[in-house]
Amino acid sequence: MTARTVRTTTAAAAAVAVLAGAAACSKPSDSGGSGGGTDAVTIGVAQEPETLSPLLGYGREGNSKIFDGLLRHDAQMRLEPALATKLPEVTDGGKTYTYSLRKGVKFSDGKPFTSKDVVFTYRTVLDKKTNNPYKDDLAAIDQVRADGPHKVVFTLKYPYAAFAERTILPIASQADAGSGQDVNNGPYNTRPVGTGPYVLSSWRKGEKLSFKANPHYWGGKPKVKRFTVAVIEDDDVRATRLRSGDLDAAILPPNLAKPYEKDDDKRVFEAKTTDYRAVSLPSGNPVTGDKAVRRALDLAVDRDSMVKSILNGAGKPAYGPVPSDSPWFAKGTERAHDLGEAKKILDAAGWKPGKDGIRVKDGKRAAFKLWYFSGDKLRKDHALAYASDAKKAGIDVKVQAGSREVIRPKLDHDSMLLGNGFPPDPDFDLFPALHSSQIGSGWNNVASYDDEKVDEELDAGRRTSDEKARHKAYDTVQRELRKNPPYTFLTTIDHVYVVDDKWKGLTTQIEPHDHGIGAGPWWNVQDWQPKK
């Protein structure tokens, strides 16, 4: 059959498109890859996780393969029960959530799953000694307790509208992860035990992770018995591996995926996402911290051109963490490409063109460094286009590639071409990117943005269940970003995937930024069926 390019605006279909995003990458000797059987799947991804322990943040976006949460998302991103038997009972004005748990569920080592494992997981994540960079996901929790072996009760400090969404957090085994080992450095981080459909069989760091079907899985036996995740940072190499038959699927930049539209044995999907690309503008840098420079860059950048030339139309302009087609997007905060107005803003602020065309103020050149991750073609292309647009306004942006280890320590002063996005709730993107409490917390708020009004509105948005009040708070935040943007938001990208046409039942969800093990068509690989 001829390869089909599938574009859809529905959550389910869009998610399907996202499938292709994690590139399947296995060598023929792994019994995966094109030409292999349908009981084994090999995908290729750009990054590998730092840990496989949910106590340290692994799987917080769901679909971790090894674990289950109390709840999970279906293809349309609706919450449904997983380890819980039903959605939570919410009482006390939205401050108490009660979950009834499945009976008879076992961890992959055969030990029984009970409420004690749930309590252990949440309490450990919140423990000050645990190095989980996402503790603030659960900041609303006052206490969590077991009410018998099959019921868990969460008491919140305040009504938090998005709390149920947080309970997709994978549940760890207390018997295995809490057996006196160091939660931050113990063996559970690389040899986890969960209740999910697959068990980790091996992990060769920097190369691949191999999984096999969990014989104790409560959801039934997967038809795909072996699942391999090959780690291939370079987009071009991933495309080559797919072409050579090493991979069953791959996430590719749009231009590298385009040739497969005419391939008889492949399917090409485009998925809608909340995955944005943006440039951080550190407040501590005298150039990027200048409000006039920030506003000028926001107008000088040609977002429509980036969507057309870099994404081949597979995406849309971005004006903030909230996608422009989201019901939470503040209408009227779109920014048009206006180079003339950008120049006027810089002139008025005292940034005057120098002999080389680069602006100068008080002896300081309007110049800064912009980093992107090595091997990431989409980030590189965005960075180069951004630098080109900035130069037209008289701002010199030096683009440089580097590893995460090299880049992270430099972000107090240098800019970064970053990506992020998590679809379930606007709080999940706005708070970590903009709240001052997140400065210095992992990769959160790398612009060191500190605005009292924005902080107040972000707090208000997460501390109420009133939807109108939340809309008002998040509208205010987005309008404040237009006045003083700590990031230049560029595009929201569609994830483009190429998948061997061997299976049926492939679906996907609206994708977050993370499109590795848990995202892509293999989010439900345990449900795939071979084509007859």
Of 234, 325, 254, 329, nearest to 44 (Cα)? Answer: 234
The tens digit of pLDDT for each residue in 222-268 reads 999 999 999 998 889 999 999 999 999 888 888 898 888 888 888 88
pLDDT, mean of residues 460-474: 92
Of 129, 231, 113, 135, nearest to 185 (Cα)? Answer: 129
**Distance (Å, whole) CA 200 – CA 358:** 54
CB 19 within 8 A of CB 520: yes
Half-sphere exposure of 523 (CA within 13 A, CB side): 30
CATH assignment, 5-48+205-271+497-530: 3.40.190.10
Reading across the β-sheet that carries 96-100, which strands appear in turn? 89-91, 96-100, 151-156, 141-146
Half-sphere exposure of 93 (CA within 13 A, CB side): 5
pLDDT of 337 strictly over 90 = yes
pLDDT, mean of residues 391-403: 97
Half-sphere exposure of 184 (CA within 13 A, CB side): 8
- How far lies 32's CA from each of 140, 247, 252, in Å? 44, 7, 19
**Distance (Å, whole) CA 512 – CA 522:** 14
Of 116, 183, 104, 110, nearest to 152 (Cα)? Answer: 116
Q: For the chain, what are the domain ranges?
A: 5-48+205-271+497-530, 54-177, 276-493
Inter-helix orientation angle 427-434/467-483, to 10°: 40
pLDDT value for 267: 85
175 phi-psi bin (left φ>0, alpha ψ -120 to 50, beta other) = alpha
pLDDT value for 38: 80
Instruction: List all residues 6 or more positions away from 121 whose beta carbon is below 8 Å from its beta carbon.
Output: 54, 55, 169, 170, 171, 172, 174
Tell me which of 32-46, 165-179, 290-304, 438-452 is least confident.
32-46
CATH assignment, 276-493: 3.10.105.10
pLDDT of 14 strictly over 60 = no
pLDDT of 29 strictly over 90 = no
Residue 500: how many other CB atoms lie within 10 Å = 23
CB 386 within 8 A of CB 396: no
Burial class (CB in 10 A: 0-12, 13-18, 19+), 146: middle
**Distance (Å, whole) CA 233 – CA 376:** 7
pLDDT value for 36: 56
- Mapped onto helix, strand or coil, the DSSP state of residue 233 is coil
The tens digit of pLDDT for each residue in 482-497 reads 999 999 999 999 988 8
Entry pTM: 0.84
What's phi and psi for 228, nearest 5 deg?
Answer: -115, 135
pLDDT of 7 strictly over 70 = no
pLDDT value for 516: 74
**Distance (Å, whole) CA 434 – CA 481:** 9
Domain 54-177: CATH superfamily, name plus number:
Dipeptide-binding Protein; Domain 1 (3.90.76.10)
pLDDT of 392 strictly over 90 = yes
Q: Residue 24 — pLDDT band, cuts 50, 70, 90?
A: very low
425: its two tokens: 């709730």
- How far lies 55's CA from each of 16, 191, 212, 213, in Å? 29, 13, 22, 23
